[in-house]
Amino acid sequence: MKIKFYLFMFVGFTFLLLSGCSPTTLSGNWMDDGYSEKPTKVLVLGLTNNKVASRIYESNLSKALLPYGVEVVSGHDVFGYEDPVEKETISAFVKTNDVDAVIVTKLLDKDTYSERVTDVTSMGRMNYARPSGIYHGGWYGDYHAGYRTYSSYDVSFDIYNVETSLYQVEGEKLVWTAFTSTETMDRDPENIKSLVKVLVKQLKKDGVI
């Protein structure tokens, strides 16, 4: 009977990302100390080359902010993202629909990482019958278990670095910014949900919502 042992070598935050923690981490944020208002209707512009990811993000952010009394308007639903929308078009929509804040989320860059993974295959049968960990498989089992084969391969994954900024419509003033890193953001809707969760948590912590 073959038994495989998977030995993973991870360092720094890579280990945290792949060990069951949230795929998204907050790397920094800033807020205007003079800003005390709470937005009630927000236009969200989620900008990535992946249009599906943009729609999933805007939809999830809308649902997450609703319990805080914030109505979210999806930029994708209003304008689409086939081409950049002219400022005049967005401004006209904001003014005629009582939008008091705009959230712009954009991809800054993508980092690709790889880790070396080693499979260790034992040909023997492991039989630890006692809590002490003493081997009780007989001398031949002990001998045969010593023969192992090793195979190594690389596992790669992407980290998406994202900036999210909140602008007050009046004066087009930047009042809040957050920087986040999300593992394989555009491949898994759950990872996009984790981005939204981190953003909403920080908005609440900073008293914006």
Q: What is the pLDDT along the chain (209 residues), one digit of tens a residue?
A: 443 333 333 333 333 344 446 789 999 999 999 998 899 999 999 877 778 888 889 999 999 999 999 999 999 889 876 677 888 999 999 999 999 999 999 989 888 887 777 776 665 555 545 455 555 566 766 666 666 677 787 777 888 899 999 999 999 999 999 999 988 744 567 888 999 999 999 999 999 99
For residue 7, being part of any structural domain is answered with no
What's 164's domain CATH number? 3.40.50.800
Where in the sequence is the domain holding 42, given as residue range(s)? Answer: 23-109+159-205
Does a structural domain hold residue 12?
no
Residue 172 domain-assigned?
Answer: yes
Q: Is residue 31 part of a domain?
A: yes
Q: Which amino acid is at 135?
A: Y
Residue 169 pLDDT: 94
Please check whether residue 144 lies inside any domain of the structure: no
CB atoms within 10 A of CB 31: 18
Residue 150 domain flag: no
> Does any domain span residue 171?
yes
Query: How many structural domains is the chain composed of?
Result: 1
What is the pLDDT, as a whole number, of residue 188?
67
Predicted pLDDT at 201 = 96
Residue 193 lies in a domain: yes
